[in-house]
Amino acid sequence: MTTLGITDGRVLRPDLSVEEADVLVDREGGEVLDVGPDAGRDADERLDASGGLVVPGLVNAHTHAAMTLLRGYADDKPLESWLREDVWPAEAELTLDDIAAGTRLAALEMIRSGTTGFADMYFHVPRVAEVVETAGLRARLGHGVVTVGKDEAAAWADVEESLDVAETVRETSDRIETAFMPHSLTTVGEEYLREGVARARDLDVPVHIHANETRGEVDPLVEEHGVRPLEYAREVGLLEPEDFLAHGVHVDETEVELLAETGASVVHCPASNMKLASGMAPVQRLLDAGVGVGLGTDGAASNNDLSLLGELRDAAMLGKLAADDASAVAAPDAVRMATAGSADALSLPGGRIAPGEAADCIVVDLDAAHLTPVHDPVSHLAYAAAASDVRHTVCDGRVLMRDREVLTLDADAVRAEAADRARDLVTRAN
């Protein structure tokens, strides 16, 4: 066994207390061995955390990584017209190599901003998995199914592809898990949902879906089925404890209770919800009811970055507006959402720094003008720290970024290829 010591910093513990300590990591086993004063002093390799805070690696519980290629391509529109007029026509032109390049760019941005794990719903998932493996990240991946606008054969083929990906891609890496991923309750027909979800249960994979994102999606569904969207979701077999729903903006009291009873989680995406004017999720209400809540950026085209530190701030701010209460979604709640909340929602290791837990951690520099003084490091994580404050990123015991240099990807090459491909993509789409 060889060890990594993250030394001389302060460590955020699972109860969100902060203590001066080292973190000792088993590099091959990918787990935390010890947390305590001088625990890392004799380690084989050391990462200097002096002046910094050692935090669990952040977990982005809902994104579409390759949408980095569409960052800034179509802004200032609501979800439905943004998807139909801009995003879907561009996505129809994506090649496998585009998706690999966009995902690499996302991986670079995630490592730089302290994200060690993520959930991705997109296309050409085996290529996405290759990138995740090379970058050294952890992920739960799935092929997004859309059946509206397709003939029956094409719709079933899409369902089969998502199930096939869920079954096979999880075998490709110890850091990759999968899920069955129907796009939403309105873009996938009922028969496909019922059959796909039942088969996902046989494969023992969770289901990830967009749900209750906009009024434009909820109202017609209620009209058609005569029940709330999450009651319909339950009827078609969704809402098992390992399932996780993106957004959950327009949920009523019955649906909050249904989530709490079933144990399915919600992934809050505040920046995307604000940018597309989708609405404000009742996050404090969900937390009060005992619903598991994680945090996601959604794709870079509706955000427009993949920084979870930015998302933390948005979650804390928007949560107060939604509740009309300045004490709602307090700093520790937001930090918990981006760490243990997201990791638990995705059933992935990580989210807590303690012996036996996955060695997914980051060091956030606190020695910066905008982070001075440090009355409360948890407050700084929620309200003041930025992506560029992340100094080191470690996933599964491996150093992915040391002193702001990403070690697993060639940053210049990744940026150049993504910029070229994005330009060609939008030329083809237009």
Ligand X SMILES: CSC[C@H]1O[C@@H](n2cnc3c(O)ncnc32)[C@H](O)[C@@H]1O
Look up residue 63 and give its two tokens: 């994104």
Q: Which residue is nearest to ligand X (CB)?
A: 144
Question: Do the annotations mark residue 64 as ligand-binding?
Answer: yes
Instruction: Specify the residue, 132 or 335, whose C-beta has the smaller distance to ligand X.
Output: 132
Report the residue from 25, 32, 49, 79 that binds ligand X according to the rule CB under 6 A. Answer: 79
CB 326 within 8 A of CB 298: no
Report the residue from 122, 180, 192, 232 that binds ligand X according to the rule CB under 6 A. Answer: 122
What does the alpha-carbon distance between residue 140 and residue 409 come to, in Å, rounded to a whole number?
20
Please report whether residue 144 would count as binding ligand X according to CB under 6 A.
yes
Question: Do the annotations mark residue 298 as ligand-binding?
Answer: yes
Q: Strands 138-145 and 115-122, how do they pair?
A: parallel
Q: Does residue 141 sit in helix, strand or coil?
A: strand
- Count the site residues for Zn ion by CB under 5 A: 1
* Closest alpha carbon to 4 in 37, 36, 41: 41
Question: Do the annotations mark residue 392 as ligand-binding?
Answer: no
Task: Output the 3-class SS for 267-328.
Answer: EECHHHHHHCCCCCCCHHHHHHHCCCEEECCCCHHHCCCCCHHHHHHHHHHHHHHHHCCCCC
Question: Do the annotations mark residue 370 as ligand-binding?
Answer: no
Instruction: Specify the residue, 255 or 298, whose C-beta has the smaller distance to ligand X.
Output: 298
What is the amino acid identity at position 113? S
What does the alpha-carbon distance between residue 157 and residue 151 come to, in Å, rounded to a whole number?
10
Hey, how many other C-beta atoms are within 10 angstroms of the C-beta on 267?
Answer: 31
Hey, how many other C-beta atoms are within 10 angstroms of the C-beta on 402?
Answer: 16
Please report whether residue 192 would count as binding ligand X according to CB under 6 A.
no
Please report whether residue 429 would count as binding ligand X according to CB under 6 A.
no
Distance of alpha carbon 216 from the chain centroid: 24
- Count the site residues for ligand X by CB under 6 A: 16
Hey, how many other C-beta atoms are within 10 angstroms of the C-beta on 81?
Answer: 13
Please report whether residue 87 would count as binding ligand X according to CB under 6 A.
yes
Report the residue from 210, 313, 380, 391 that binds ligand X according to the rule CB under 6 A. Answer: 210
* Closest alpha carbon to 118 in 160, 177, 43, 171: 177
Tell the smallest beta-carbon distance from residue 380 to ligand X (Å): 29
Tell the smallest beta-carbon distance from residue 16 to ligand X (Å): 29
Residues 286-345 that bind ligand X (CB under 6 A): 298-299, 302
Tell the smallest beta-carbon distance from residue 315 to ligand X (Å): 16
> Which x/- pattern over 246-285 shows residues binding Zn ion (rule: CB under 5 A)?
----------------------------------------
Look up residue 316 and give its two tokens: 């804390």
Please report whether residue 298 would count as binding Zn ion according to CB under 5 A.
yes
Point out the annotated binding site for Zn(2+). Answer: 62, 64, 210, 298
Q: Which residues bind Zn ion (CB under 5 A)?
A: 298
- The residues binding ligand X (CB under 6 A) are 64, 79, 83, 87, 91, 121-122, 144, 146, 183, 210, 213, 272, 298-299, 302
